[in-house]
Amino acid sequence: MSEDRNIVIVGGGFAGTTAATALERRLPAGHRVILISEESYTTFNPMLAEVVGASVFPEHVVAPIRQMLDPSRGSQFIMGRVTAVDRARRMVTAGTLAGPRDIHYQHVVLAFGTRANLELVPGLAQHALPLKLVGDAMHIRNRVLQRVARIELERDPRERARLGHFIVIGGGFSGVEVAGELEDFLRGALRFYPRVQRGELSVTLLHDMGRLLPELPDSLGIAATRSLTDRGIDVRLNTRAVRVTAHGVELADGKSIAAGTVICTIGTRPNALIERLGVALQRGRIETESDLRVRGQSDVWAIGDCALIRNAAADGAVAPPTAQFAIAQARTLAANIEATLCGATTRAFGHKSKGMMATTGHFKGVAQTLGLRLSGLPAWLLWRAYYLSRMPTLGRKLRIWAEWTWGMFFAADITHLRFTRTTEADREALAP
């Protein structure tokens, strides 16, 4: 198969994997898909909060990319990091497990997403825990368990209260869902820590706007606030963190909140590769034409969070960086690349949102879909049904369904997973 007919996709998130599977079915004979990603799996980021709260196992929120591609169609997955895109030579350079590789392309799709930005607030990088990757979710869960275990051994009442206070910064989807899952997790785990009192554990959600979930209608933002506060979460609106320290958070009004753990769900920054591409950028995102080509390019395309895409179905408004829109963009891109290869006319990207939703804890959520506004149990069930439908392979769907069903009736798993290697354990045993 000629290298000159490679369709190379950079990035293995929702946008990249959906584009790859859609292109497999559309490409003319002699063409193939090559997907390059630093990780061998796609992370279902909306489910990371459930990993924090031990509602699901970590492996249930990731899906192996190789399971998504069809090798019988000639598709190839390469685990590696793209370091350069040479548009003149139509070549992508990637660092792989076997060393640097140059991969030629006919068309290249940029879908590498964004990174967490820990520079928004002084002290975030040093003292806060971001939630962007599955490793972040596991680290937060372990930190929570460490804090509760330490409270059992602490004698100072003020220090016990500080260690048991968990602050979540950001009242968007991730912040609301993490706060709800964290409250559920603490409440369920408490029975296994008899020397810790319920009043010594608390969750505070800080949001610098007037209501939670600004992407949703006012009534659902209010419903989310009520759902969280009814369960004991301290929701502070119009409250901005100006500094994070080892002992808590300093606020814009000059007050401070003592806490043992601060979780950050705000802010993104561009992938470092963007600066080396030499393409038009706006607000740190790649500018695209209406058909998803990179501005001024004929064979370079961009979709997902890394791209600034105008939505023709919303009067040219910028498409939000959500999984729903990334999937819609990927499908439009596949159709447009097929049209380009066949000499047909491409079409502008346009997508009408099918709705948005968020969970606020066990059996609770808010949702807007098909003109309906739901809250409580119906919204929670709809959230789970949607993300279960997005999981690849029937086996993975069944595993997650079984785990969710188990969690509805039994306590969350409080295992502290360290993944310590034998050599590391030996060094720790010999340390004074």
151 and 216 in a single domain? The answer is yes
223 and 240 in a single domain? The answer is yes
Q: From 45, 42, 48, select the one nearest 17 (Cα to Cα).
A: 42
Residues 125, 132 contacting (CB under 8 angstroms): no
Last residue of a domain, one of 294, 323, 341: 341
DSSP, res 297: -
Please tell me the total count of domains within the chain.
2
Domain assignment present for 364: no
pLDDT over threshold 80, residue 2? no
pLDDT over threshold 70, residue 224? yes
- pTM comes to 0.90
Last residue of a domain, one of 341, 368, 384: 341
Could you list the beta-strand ranges (E) of 87-188.
91-96, 99-104, 107-110, 114-116, 128-130, 165-169
Which pLDDT band, with edges at 50, 70 and 90, does 1 fall under? low
Q: How far is CA 304 from CA 192, 198, 294, 308, 392, in A?
A: 43, 42, 12, 8, 19
pLDDT over threshold 70, residue 3? no
247 and 260 in a single domain? The answer is yes
Residues 263, 129 contacting (CB under 8 angstroms): yes
Domain assignment present for 211: yes
pLDDT digits (tens, 9 = 90+) for 14-59: 999 999 999 999 999 999 999 999 999 999 888 899 899 888 888 8
38 and 155 in a single domain? The answer is no
pLDDT digits (tens, 9 = 90+) for 64-105: 999 999 989 999 999 999 999 999 999 999 999 999 999 999
Q: How far is 67 from 303, CA to CA, in rounded Å?
A: 22
Q: Which residues span the domain enclosing 22? A: 3-116+268-341
- Average the pLDDT over 188-213 and give the result: 94
